[in-house]
Amino acid sequence: MSYKRVTLSQFLMEGQHRYGGSGTLTSLLTDIRTTCKMISHEVNRGAMAGNMGVAGTENVQGEEQKKLDVLANDIFLHMTAQSGNYAAMASEELEDVHVVHGSAGRYLLLFDPLDGSSNIDINIAVGSVFSILRLPDGASGETLESFLQPGVKQVAAGYAIYGSSTMLVLTTGHGVNGFTLDQNIGVFVLTHPNMRIPEDASEFAINASRARFWEPPVKRYIDECLAGAEGPRGRDFNMRWVAAMVAEVHRILCRGGVFMYPVDDKNTKQGGKLRLMYEANPMAFIVEQAGGRAITGQDRILDINPTGLHQRVGVILGSKNEVDRLERYHQDYEATAGKAEV
Ligand code: FBP
């Protein structure tokens, strides 16, 4: 039996040679690797390290912060600043841009240090999500404007999932690869090369407790799935909801499906639930690189021109043919709704 194991560092070096990189991307992602290893350790220690429960503070979104939200945020800020690659950062847990003083870095890092925080105290999967942008020429990391770039400008993105095992899944625009942390030797090993999302699927994820707020296109899609083999879809569908976007996206990368947190009548004022810059954009980059699609209902998420660090959007992503169908239902609805108004 060949014992060929490829570590994340070897994979990044190999990519550097293949795509003629300068080594900066390798260094950028090495910062992220170390950060996620440290957060994985703290998540796994859980109550033993007193990491459970609330921190007694609120973040810029007005959400109660968990102790691990604050700890993971500190680990991200500290560990990724070491290399000096990043000029500045933005986090779900910080209101404003965090400038890395003295850094001559040419990159910007955006992150959700702990996604799925409501799962921490009940020992269900959580994760970290990151997005890397170039600092525009002539721009300084001090300004918000340098961050407000559409998702298509990302040079790399990914997530770590702290579940039954710890994995790091990432893209640099050349497909999607998954690495599992070998706890014995403390290295990420390539276990899921070239992940691809099946175009068809029979599994959806949406918070059904919000059904009364759904817009007609989403309601139509879910009703048809729930009608099963006797209904217009002619087959049965299954449902999942982990309440951690990282886990939903990881499931879809592994076996297909569609994940939705759409704009609905209850969150429409704030533009949706999930944040564009450090949740929707990195996940949309990953999903598209794996052959899936990611839309708001109307628009391709990666084409959105951001207006704010903590801007929220509707998210519909996953298997191409299911997202195509949801997009059609939105277009049909807008066409009929448009006619009704005339
Ligand atoms: P944070 O935990 O980082 O705030 O992320 C938001 C999130 O937890 C997503 O990961 C998840 O998909 C969604 O909210 C769950 O929402 P709900 O509480 O409505 O089930």
Q: Residues 252-271: pLDDT tens digits?
A: 999 999 999 999 999 999 99
When pLDDT is averaged across residues 298-307 and rounded to a whole number, the result is 98
Place of tokens 């030797």: 185
Report whether pLDDT(342) > 60: no
What's the confidence (pLDDT) of residue 61?
Answer: 78
DSSP 40-64: HHHHHHGGGGT--SEEEEE-TTSPE
Most confident of 13-27, 56-70, 206-220: 206-220
Ligand 1 centroid distance, CA of 118 (Å): 7
Phi-psi region of 231 (alpha: psi -120 to 50; beta: other; left: phi over 0): beta
Say yes or no: CB of residue 117 within 6 Å of ligand 1: yes
Tokens of 155: 């040079």
Q: Could you give the CA distance from residue 251 to residue 271 in angstroms, rounded to a whole number? A: 26
pTM equals 0.96
88 burial level (CB within 10 Å; 0-12, 13-18, 19+): buried
Cα–Cα distance list, 183 to 3, 16, 51 (Å):
18, 26, 20
Say yes or no: CB of residue 205 within 6 Å of ligand 1: no
Q: Could you give the CA distance from residue 134 to residue 293 in angstroms, rounded to a whole number? A: 24
Contact 121, 52 (CB under 8 A): yes
When pLDDT is averaged across residues 150-164 and rounded to a whole number, the result is 97
Tokens of 128: 């970290």
φ/ψ (deg, to 5) at 304: -70, 130
Contact 20, 13 (CB under 8 A): no
Report whether pLDDT(1) > 60: no
Say yes or no: CB of residue 243 within 6 Å of ligand 1: yes
Say yes or no: CB of residue 128 within 6 Å of ligand 1: no
Report whether pLDDT(22) > 80: no
Say yes or no: CB of residue 244 within 6 Å of ligand 1: yes
Q: Could you give the CA distance from residue 168 to residue 220 in angstroms, rounded to a whole number? A: 35
What's the confidence (pLDDT) of residue 57?
Answer: 87
Residue 338: pLDDT band (50, 70, 90) is: low
What's the confidence (pLDDT) of residue 63?
Answer: 85
* pLDDT more than 70, % of the chain: 97
Q: Is 20 strand, coil or helix?
A: coil
Q: Could you give the CA distance from residue 160 to residue 179 in angstroms, rounded to a whole number? A: 9
What's the confidence (pLDDT) of residue 271?
Answer: 97
Name the average pLDDT for the chain.
Answer: 94
CB within 8 Å of 268: residues ≥ 6 apart = none
Report whether pLDDT(138) > 90: no
Q: Could you give the CA distance from residue 27 to residue 34 in angstroms, rounded to a whole number? A: 11
Report whether pLDDT(207) > 70: yes
Interval 178-196: pLDDT, tens: 999 999 999 999 999 999 9
DSSP 201-228: -SEEE--GGGGGG--HHHHHHHHHHHHG
Contact 285, 302 (CB under 8 A): yes
Ligand 1 centroid distance, CA of 119 (Å): 9
Interval 89-133: pLDDT, tens: 999 999 999 999 889 899 999 999 999 999 999 999 999 999 999
Q: Whose CA is closest to 150, among 54, 276, 291?
A: 276
Q: Could you give the CA distance from residue 147 to residue 154 in angstroms, rounded to a whole number? A: 11
Say yes or no: CB of residue 38 within 6 Å of ligand 1: no
Contact 150, 303 (CB under 8 A): yes
Amino acid found at 122: I
Ligand 1 centroid distance, CA of 104 (Å): 35
Residue 33: pLDDT band (50, 70, 90) is: very high
